[in-house]
Amino acid sequence: MSFAARTKKEVTLITQKTCCDQAELTAILQQCGIIRAFDEGKLVLDVAIENAATARRIYVLIKNLSDESLEVLVQRKMRLKKNNIYIVRMRAGVESLLKKLNLLGQDRCSIAQEVGLKRRNSCCKKAFLRGAFLASGSVNDPDSNSYHLEIACHYEAHAQGLCYLMDEFSLKGKMIERKKGFIVYIKEGEKIVDFLGLIGAHQALLHFEDVRIVKGMRNQVNRLVNCETANLNKTIVAAVRQLDNIRFLEKEYGLERLSPKLRIVAEMRLQNPDVTLAELCRLLPDQVSKSGLNHRLRKLDELATTMKNQMGYLEEQTGALADRLV
């Protein structure tokens, strides 16, 4: 079962007040409800969904608000994944239910799409978001490459209403138009966590947060390793350059002509080519700091560079030095 399916199954088990049942069912009907009108003026409501847990939730919500009998039909898709489609059908009391939910369209045979929740309580607004997610929402597994939660809408008015509702909870939902309608989406991991908390998906929230924390720690470790690797490469390149310059001075100038401080550093570096600067500091007979040792090595580099320029040598490039390490 996917992370999105587990999340939906979790929130279908929530118990709530009647007002919240109405808000949740309102969102579901706006997304999945289809009204069929017959010549005698009779209305039939079909609510089609692929998720079995959501279908059971729809059945319970309608029964909580109406005493009319319901049918549950199961059809099988003939294309793509060939999933089952569950249809909750209401043959009587449709107009009464839609009026109760304030969803009866002006033509009296359609479902209104405006999200009218301005005067509703906070709990009802959360229930509406839960219903919208159950009806046509999805959320990426937190282990995937990117965080993404979306709710598909057939009409722009409904999508805009969802965005406004999300803004009330600082979720920063964004809307984009697609071929078959509009998508309201959230891409920030922190905001997705907030959304899961609002709709009551607490187990999904904890799993999402656990994975997000581990991924964050892993990324931080990778950054530190990359930084250490880069610093190590710089250190190795610098050490190779120092050794080349000291060998050049030994051959062309003579280490005995150097000042005592520079000479001892040059000799100790030649004798210990693989040690770090900190280790080299401890090997020197006179106490010298790391910055002091760096200063003396720079002096040797400058002297070698000056002599090479005077003698017509071409100084080796850093890239060439690095190639020799491979």
Question: What average pLDDT does this structure show over 137-143?
Answer: 93
Query: For all residues of the chain together, what is the average pLDDT?
Result: 87
β-pair type (181-186, 174-178): antiparallel
Question: What pLDDT is attached to residue 313?
Answer: 59
Read off the DSSP letter of residue 288: -
The CA distance from 138 to 184, in Å, is 11
Residues in contact with 228: Cβ distance below 8 Å, sequence separation at least 6, in sequence order? none
Question: What pLDDT is attached to residue 275?
Answer: 80
Question: What average pLDDT does this structure show over 118-143?
Answer: 91
Q: Which fold has domain 3-200?
A: Endonuclease I-creI (3.10.28)
User: If we measure between CA atoms, which residue out of 90, 83, 82 comes closest to residue 32?
Assistant: 90
Provide the 10 A C-beta neighbour count for residue 235. Answer: 12
**Cβ–Cβ < 8 Å for 131, 45:** no
The per-residue pLDDT for range 162-190, each reduced to its tens digit, is 999 999 999 989 999 998 899 999 999 99
Which stretch of DSSP H or E encloses residue 75?
Answer: strand 70-76
Q: Which residue has the tokens 């931080």?
A: 220
- The alpha carbon of 48 is separated from its chain's Cα centroid by a whole number of angstroms, namely 30
Least confident of 105-109, 169-173, 181-185, 246-250: 105-109
Where in the chain are the domains? 3-200, 217-323
Please give the model's pTM, rounded to 2 decimal places: 0.70
Question: What pLDDT is attached to residue 183?
Answer: 96
**Mind giving me the DSSP string for 143-176?**
TSSS--EEEEESSHHHHHHHHHHHHHTT---EEE
Half-sphere exposure of 198 (CA within 13 A, CB side): 26
Q: Which two structure tokens, joined as six digits, stand for 299?
A: 């002096």
Read off the DSSP letter of residue 111: B
The per-residue pLDDT for range 115-124, each reduced to its tens digit, is 666 667 899 9
Q: Which two structure tokens, joined as six digits, stand for 4?
A: 């999105």
Provide the 10 A C-beta neighbour count for residue 12. Answer: 19
- Identify the band that residue 82 occupies on the pLDDT scale cut at 50, 70 and 90: low
Question: What pLDDT is attached to residue 116?
Answer: 64
Q: How far apart are the first and last CA of the chain?
A: 47
Question: What average pLDDT does this structure show over 85-100?
Answer: 91
Residues in contact with 132: Cβ distance below 8 Å, sequence separation at least 6, in sequence order? 27, 28, 30, 31, 151, 162
Residues in contact with 249: Cβ distance below 8 Å, sequence separation at least 6, in sequence order? 255, 258, 266, 300, 303, 304, 307
The per-residue pLDDT for range 196-209, each reduced to its tens digit, is 999 999 999 999 99
